[in-house]
Structure 1
Amino acid sequence: MFRKLKNWLLRDYKVPKSEGVQFITILLLTILIGLLAIGEFLIDLKATSLPLILPLLAVNIILLIAAKKGGNSKLIGNLQLLVLYLMFQLSFFFLPGVFHVIIYWMPSIPLIAFIFGNLRTSHVWLVIILITLIIDAGFGNRMVGKSYMADIPFTQYAFAGSVFVITLVGCFSLLYNLLGKSYSRLRTKNREVVELISQLKTMNGSLERIVDERTKDLEVRNAKLERYAFMNSHLVRAPLANILGAVQHLEEKCDKERADEMLNIVRVSAASLDDVIKEIGQSLSEKE
């Protein structure tokens, strides 16, 4: 059981992140915190205080600039989550009567961690938030009592609720776009793989055809070479041997009758050799 829980907590997937998703998320959070600061300045939201939210806004602007300049994304993302967590906790410690508001805002931290593209961090923050809510419940019970009467004016609560809805919709919109773009990239890669496989099959078919053609060509060439070897060893050498023998005999004996006979043999053998040479040339020049 513990091993399964550990695997679930620490398991992570390399989700391909869209370019600028962290910057866009921090920009959205900065705008929302700015809206809360404006709301707190104009009306008392009964959920936080201006001295708490202004430092948070300043830190978020710094993180936004760092994300825009391409700083360490992992460090920036963790700092953003930590800043949000500290804001919620400080708001609760100074104003325990806002527990009913904080409990709805806290789950946005694991969601934002997931948008940043890290499932492991999202799980870790989920555990931290659950433990924090239990501790806060005990702290609130000790400081305020078993229950408290929340002063919830309509205007302030409607303003804070609107910001919460914008945050929630914005987070899920970013998450949807992140997953949608990742799925689109996977589909594009899959199409590319299918096209490559098709091209490889086409190339394989072409290679097989080329190999078959080359094989047939080699077979024809080998047949020609065998035929040439046969002609060279049988048809060419016989008349040539006759010519060489007749010439040698002429050199040894100069008798006219015998010389005429030898010349006739040389003439016939030379004609035969000429025919064989022509046949060999014709055979080697043939395409098939």
Structure 2
Amino acid sequence: MRELFKDWLLKDYNVPKSEGVQFITILMLTILIGMLAIGEYLVDLKATTLPLILSLFGANLILLGAAKRFGKSVIVGNLQLFVLYLMFQLTFITLPNVFHVIIYWMPTIPLLAFMFGNLRTSHIWLVIILITLVLDTVYGNSVMGQSYTAEIPYMPYAFAASIFTITFVACFSLLHNLLGRSYSRLRSKNREVVTLIGQLKEMNDSLEKIVKERTKDIELQNKKLKRYAFMNSHLVRAPLANILGAVNHLDSSCDSSERTELLNIVKVSANSLDDVIKEVGKSLSEKDN
């Protein structure tokens, strides 16, 4: 169980993110925090204080500038999450009777962590948020007792609920676009792989065709060599055998010593020629084999 939890906590699946995702997300949060500040100024939202909201807004402006300056940065992303987390906790400690509001805003942090960093970062922040909710529950119970009375005015809570809804819709829209772009890139890579496979198949078919053609040429050459060996071994040796027979006949019936000597020379030469022709036929036969 421990190893399973450790694997879940630390496992990561990197999703390719464009450089602008972090900046757009921080910009979206800055705008929403600004809307909360305006709402708190115009109507008491009963969930925070104006100094805390303005402090958060100022911190977000700094983070927005850092995101614009440095682009995609793990440090900037985690600073944004920490600032949000700190704001939630300071709000709860300052106003313990807003626990019912804070617990609905805190789950946005693991969601933002996935867009800023990766799955591992999201899991780590999820564990932090769950532990914090337990500790806040214990703290609230010790400060406020078993329960507290929450003042629920319609207009402030309608305003806060609208911003909460916009926040979650914007987060899921960013997440959808992020995953959609990753899916599009994956499909594009898959099409490239399919194209490469098609090209390799064409090359393989072409190579097989070339091999077949070369094999056919080699077989044709072998047939020619066999034919040449056959002609050399039979057609060329046939008249040579007649010459040898005639020489042998003349040799046995000749009385002149001079003619005998000449015929012996012809006989030796003919035998040598026969040996050469045999050797050529033998060599061609060995090459063919």
Q: CA deviation at 1:230?
A: 8.0
Q: Quick one: which amino acid aligns to residue 12 of structure 1?
A: D
Q: Quick one: which amino acid aligns to residue 109 of structure 1?
A: I
Unmatched 5+ residue regions in structure 1? 243-257, 259-288
Structure 2 CA distance, aligned partners of 1:188 and 1:157? 46
Which residues of 2 match residues 136-147 of structure 1 at below 5 A?
136-147=136-147
Q: Quick one: which amino acid aligns to residue 116 of structure 1?
A: F
Aligned to 1:192: 192
Which residues of 2 match residues 1-288 of structure 1 at below 5 A?
1-71=1-71, 73-221=73-221
Q: Quick one: which amino acid aligns to residue 10 of structure 2?
A: L
Q: Is the 8 A contact 1:81 1:109 kept in 2?
A: yes
Q: Is the 8 A contact 2:108 2:168 kept in 1?
A: yes
Structure 1 CA distance, aligned partners of 2:162 and 2:16? 31
Moved more, 218-227 or 83-92: 218-227
**Residue by residue, what CA displacement relative to the aligned partner does 1:250-279 show, whole Å, maximum 9, x if unpaired?**
xxxxxxxx9xxxxxxxxxxxxxxxxxxxxx
Q: Quick one: which amino acid aligns to residue 170 of structure 2?
A: G
Structure 2 CA distance, aligned partners of 1:61 and 1:231? 98
Moved more, 134-143 or 157-166: 134-143
Q: Quick one: which amino acid aligns to residue 31 of structure 1?
A: I
Structure 2 CA distance, aligned partners of 1:221 and 1:56? 88
Moved more, 188-197 or 198-207: 188-197
Structure 1 CA distance, aligned partners of 2:35 and 2:232? 102
Q: Quick one: which amino acid aligns to residue 160 of structure 2?
A: A
What secondary structure does 1:46 align onto?
coil
Q: Is the 8 A contact 2:33 2:57 kept in 1?
A: yes
Structure 2 CA distance, aligned partners of 1:228 and 1:49? 107
Equivalent pairs: percent with the same residue?
70
- The 1:16/1:221 distance shift into structure 2, 3 A limit, reads same
What secondary structure does 1:69 align onto?
helix
Q: CA deviation at 1:14?
A: 1.5
**Residue by residue, what CA displacement relative to the aligned partner does 1:94-117 show, whole Å, maximum 9, x if unpaired?**
111111110100010011112225
Q: Is the 8 A contact 2:11 2:120 kept in 1?
A: yes
TM-score, with length taken from structure 2: 0.75
Structure 1 CA distance, aligned partners of 2:57 and 2:68? 16
How big is the alpha-carbon RMSD for the aligned residues of Structure 1 and Structure 2? 2.4
What secondary structure does 1:137 align onto?
helix
- The count of residues paired between Structure 1 and Structure 2 equals 240
